Homo-oligomer: A and B are copies of this chain.
Amino acid sequence: MNPCFIAIDTGGTKIAGAVLDEAGKSYAEETVFLKGTGGKDAAVLLYGLTRKLLKSAAEQKIEIKAAGVCVPGIAYHQSGEVWAPNIPGWERYPLHRELQEVLGADIPVHIDSDRACSILAETWLGAAKGCSDAIFVAVGTGIGAGIMADGHIIRGHADIAGATGWMALQPPYDRKFDACGCFEYYASGNGIVRTAEEFLSVEKNYNGALKRGKFKAYDVFTAYDKNDPVALKTFDKVIMFWGMALANYVSLFNPEKVIFGGGVFGPAVQFIPRIVKEAEKWAQPIGITQVSIEASKIGPRAGLLGAGRLAMLTTMKEG
């Protein structure tokens, strides 16, 4: 039997776990719902799920080499604590220490952020398979990036690298960027709504489907499909920002692949050719010819697979 790894993906509503081998094949799966619990209670659910996976592995005579955990927030590598805004009481929760006690010294625990796990999953089994220099841009409620350079995840001095939603893209500074950053203000899921609202506020004669303050990003996509003039203008602007951001990744990182994912890509996948066209104007001209831009192929299992890959890679490095 191949050596296997425990992979755990922690979300705001549920925790999913699996026993994966080096090819990503699953030998056991477990899910537990948080039902609003947080703090120690949420951690105890995670430890219970871990023990079930261990038991299932033992029954199948599978050796577990390491465990990886994906958290929807920040994994502080120095302290082993995690911050997850969607799980109450996980501000600086000592998840690494506690889970290491559950698993014992023979099974090392590795924890990383959802953005890191996403690019680990994509470079392992997804649209950036085999790449050493690749970026995953998650466009959802907010915008974050998982960045791999020369095979290493970029975590930063204090584990908060990849905060690409804060990119400065349109001067001068406006106080409206205070809460989330300029790029995210215009180009996240909520940003699509804000951008549409800005156009609505100056469109005197608009009589379409979008009513101020009453719609979501999904509605702007629907209106776009029906050639709604505000939706058309909105995506012209949002695509410009996505293209500028892409150009900046290309110029700074010279990546082989940039993967757009998250809930917005989804429906925004249709815009990838226009995003690339915008980026071609701005980016370092050689770098832009060397990069391929793709939509994420992995979907909701990215966190789980990335957690497995995290465990695997660290073991390979150490052994």
Chain A 275-288: CB-based contact to B (< 8 A → 1; otherwise 0) = 00010011110110
Question: A254 to B167, Cβ gap below 8 A?
Answer: no
> Are B182 and A282 neighbours in the complex by a CB distance under 8 Å?
yes
Whether a CB of chain B sits under 8 angstroms from the CB of A172 is: yes
Q: How many copies does the complex hold?
A: 2
Choice from B160, B177, B182, B284 contacting A166 with Cβ under 8 Å: B284
Chain B: minimal CB distance from A229 (Å): 19
What are the residues of chain B within 8 A of A278 when measuring CB–CB? Answer: 173
A282 and B252 within 8 A (CB): no
Verify A132–B157 contact, CB threshold 8 A: yes
Asked if A254 contacts B161 (CB within 8 A), the reply is yes
Contact with B along A160-185 (1 / 0, CB 8 A): 11111111111111000100011000
- Chain B min CB distance to A17 (Å): 28
Choose one: B158, B165, B282; the contact of A168 (CB below 8 Å).
B282
A163-B290 contact, Cβ under 8 Å, with A156-B133, A157-B133, A244-B171: no
Query: Does A244 lie within 8 Å of B168, measured CB to CB?
Result: yes
Q: Which of B154, B160, B241, B248 interacts with A150 by CB under 8 Å?
A: B154
- Within the complex, which residue of B156, B283, B287 is in contact with A253, where a contact is CB–CB below 8 Å? B156
Chain B residues whose CB sits within 8 angstroms of the CB of A223 once the complex forms: none
A61 at the interface (CB under 8 A from B): no
Contact B173 A170 (CB under 8 A): no
Q: In the bound complex, how far is the Cα of B160 from the Cα of A45, in angstroms?
A: 46
Question: What B residues does A247 contact at CB under 8 A?
Answer: 166-168
B160 and A287 within 8 A (CB): yes
Which of A149, A162, A168, A171 has the most CB atoms of chain B within a 10 A radius of its CB? A168
Q: Is A159 an interface residue (CB 8 A)?
A: yes
**In the bound complex, CA of A160 to CA of B255 (Å):** 9
| A residues 117-168 in Cβ contact with B at 8 Å | 131-133, 145, 147, 149-150, 152, 154-168
A240 within 8 A of B: yes
Q: Which residues of B contact A158 (CB under 8 A)?
A: 254, 286-287, 290
Bound together, the chains give a CA A105 to CA B164 distance in angstroms of 44
Flag whether A256 is at the interface (Cβ < 8 A).
yes
Given the complex of chains A and B, what is the CA–CA distance between A241 and B156 in angstroms?
Answer: 23
Cβ–Cβ contact A156 & B281, under 8 A: no
With A150-B155, A152-B149 already in contact, the answer to whether A160 and B282 are too (CB < 8 A) is: no
Q: Known contacts A168-B244, A286-B160: does B281 contact A173 (CB below 8 Å)?
A: yes
Question: Is there an interface contact between A282 and B161, defined as CB atoms closer than 8 Å?
Answer: no
Given contact pairs A156-B253, A157-B291, A163-B251, a sample of 19 additional A-B residue pairs in the complex whose CB atoms are under 8 Å apart: A133-B157, A145-B252, A149-B149, A149-B152, A149-B161, A150-B155, A156-B254, A156-B287, A157-B254, A157-B256, A158-B254, A160-B254, A166-B247, A167-B247, A167-B248, A168-B243, A172-B240, A173-B282, A177-B282
11 contacts between A and B (CB under 8 A): A132-B157, A150-B154, A154-B154, A154-B253, A158-B254, A161-B253, A163-B252, A164-B252, A169-B171, A173-B282, A248-B248
10 closest cross-chain pairs (CB), A and B: A156-B254, A168-B244, A163-B284, A166-B251, A168-B282, A161-B254, A133-B157, A157-B256, A166-B284, A173-B281
